[in-house]
């Protein structure tokens, strides 16, 4: 099957998805591609058929999703096999025996379990981790959802040594959980879904809370042994201050602003709040008498009050009230 035919079948798949054609029709196209396509890297790149078929992995029909997943896996295996089969030709020496052809660049053998100490994990991105393998993450058939996957992946992968496939699996679970939670079938709800994904990504990249969230989400696939000694020591120190617990993708999507904060951050904010309350309550500054504040206990308008900043600077001040008639105290 030539490239033109492959592209035609790719268009047929996209048309079937757009028109919500029966699963049997799509399975028929997959069967034709399985028999007719001899996968090689050039064909897959020029036709983008791998990307197209990968979109079927998220199909609502499990048979279609399974068949698409199997076909992409077969093509990937064929390409890898072809790549590993290419060897450098050897020249015949004077004795008639084969000798290796000279190489301009020497091959450096790396131990199988070597710990990469010179890799900058802070520069990892989805498009670099999966360069040439776009079909691995373009799986939803929806440009907005695929963009959300890329956005969250770039947040979760930051400074992490874990395998890209493991990270992508978690990111896809996060996106699916958010999609199922919001069910963005109308523009207003779609806006909420996109905004939530942006918030999650911002928290993953946050200088204070990001490391705690990333490690919680990746707890089951972490490979900390890949970090160099200095980074590993920093991580141990961080975990002492911020105990790591597993965060499931489903829970991550619905975590409150407070839950998204690392334990150390929550403790610091609580101490700050408590200290401001203590200072405000013990301060004996001049109080003003209000004729508009009513005492909830005796219903009189003889209330003295003072104000203090008990929260962050951009939050309203707290008003401390005391009824001069009955002595009741409260804050608001």
Whole-prediction pTM: 0.52
Ranges of each domain in the chain: 3-81, 121-260, 284-331
Q: What is the pLDDT of residue 199?
A: 95
- Give residue-wise pLDDT tens across range 2-40: 888 888 888 888 888 888 888 888 888 898 898 888 888
Q: Residue 128 above 50 pLDDT? A: yes
- Residue that wins the pLDDT comparison between 101 and 27: 27
- Give residue-wise pLDDT tens across range 146-168: 999 999 999 999 988 889 999 99
- Give residue-wise pLDDT tens across range 64-87: 888 888 888 888 888 888 766 554
Q: What is the pLDDT of residue 222?
A: 66
Mean pLDDT of the chain: 80
Structure tokens at 37: 């396509």
What is the sign, positive or negative, of the torsion defined by CA atoms of 73, 74, 77, 78? negative
Domain 284-331, CATH class in plain words: mainly beta
329-331 and 318-323: which strand pairing?
antiparallel
- Give residue-wise pLDDT tens across range 227-269: 455 655 665 665 566 667 899 999 999 999 999 998 888 888 8
Q: Are 149 and 155 in contact (CB under 8 A)?
A: no
DSSP codes, 92-141: E-TTS-EEPPP-SSPPPPPPTT---SS--GGG--HHHHTTT-GGGT--SS
Confidence band (pLDDT; 50, 70, 90) for 102?
Answer: very low
Q: In Å, how far are 8, 64, 70, 263, 306 from 327, measured between CA atoms?
A: 84, 73, 76, 39, 15
Q: Does CATH number 3.40.50.11890 belong to domain 3-81? A: no
Q: In Å, how far are 38, 56, 112, 213, 323 from 129, measured between CA atoms?
A: 26, 22, 20, 21, 65
Structure tokens at 295: 């005492």
Nearest to 9 by CA among 1, 77, 23: 1
Q: Is 96 exposed, middle or buried (0-12, 13-18, 19+ CB in 10 A)?
A: exposed
- Residue that wins the pLDDT comparison between 55 and 198: 198
Q: What is the pLDDT of residue 99?
A: 42
- Residue that wins the pLDDT comparison between 330 and 310: 330
Confidence band (pLDDT; 50, 70, 90) for 201?
Answer: very high
């Amino acid at each position: 099957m030539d490239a033109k035919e492959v592209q035609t079948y790719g268009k047929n798949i996209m048309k079937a998805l757009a028109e919500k054609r029966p699963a049997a029709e799509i399975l028929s196209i997959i069967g034709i591609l399985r028999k007719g396509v001899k996968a090689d890297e050039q064909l897959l790149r020029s036709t983008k058929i791998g990307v197209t078929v990968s979109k079927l992995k998220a199909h609502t029909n499990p048979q279609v999703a399974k068949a698409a997943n199997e076909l992409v896996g077969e093509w990937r295996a064929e390409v890898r096999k072809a790549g590993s089969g290419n060897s450098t030709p050897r020249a015949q020496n004077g004795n008639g025996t084969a000798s290796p052809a000279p190489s301009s660049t020497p091959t450096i053998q790396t131990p199988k379990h070597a710990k990469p100490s010179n890799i900058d994990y802070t520069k990892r991105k989805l498009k670099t981790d999966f360069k040439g393998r776009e079909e691995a993450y373009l799986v939803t058939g929806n440009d907005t959802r695929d963009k959300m996957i890329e956005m969250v992946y770039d947040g979760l992968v930051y400074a992490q040594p874990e395998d890209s496939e493991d990270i992508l699996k978690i990111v896809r679970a996060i996106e699916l959980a958010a999609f199922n939670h919001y069910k963005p079938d109308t523009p207003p709800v779609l806006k909420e879904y996109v905004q939530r994904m942006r918030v999650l990504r911002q928290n993953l990249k946050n200088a204070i809370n990001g490391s705690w969230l990333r490690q919680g989400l990746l707890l089951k696939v972490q490979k900390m042994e890949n970090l160099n000694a200095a980074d590993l020591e920093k991580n141990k120190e961080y975990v002492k201050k911020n105990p790591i617990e597993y965060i499931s993708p489903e829970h991550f999507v619905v975590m409150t602003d407070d839950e998204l904060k690392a334990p150390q951050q929550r403790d610091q904010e609580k101490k700050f709040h408590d200290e401001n309350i203590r200072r405000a309550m013990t301060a004996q500054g001049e109080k003003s008498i209000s004729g508009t504040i009513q005492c909830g206990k005796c219903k009189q308008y003889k209330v003295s009050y003072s104000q203090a900043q008990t929260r962050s600077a951009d939050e309203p001040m707290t008003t401390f009230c005391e009824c001069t008639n009955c002595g009741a105290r409260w804050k608001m």
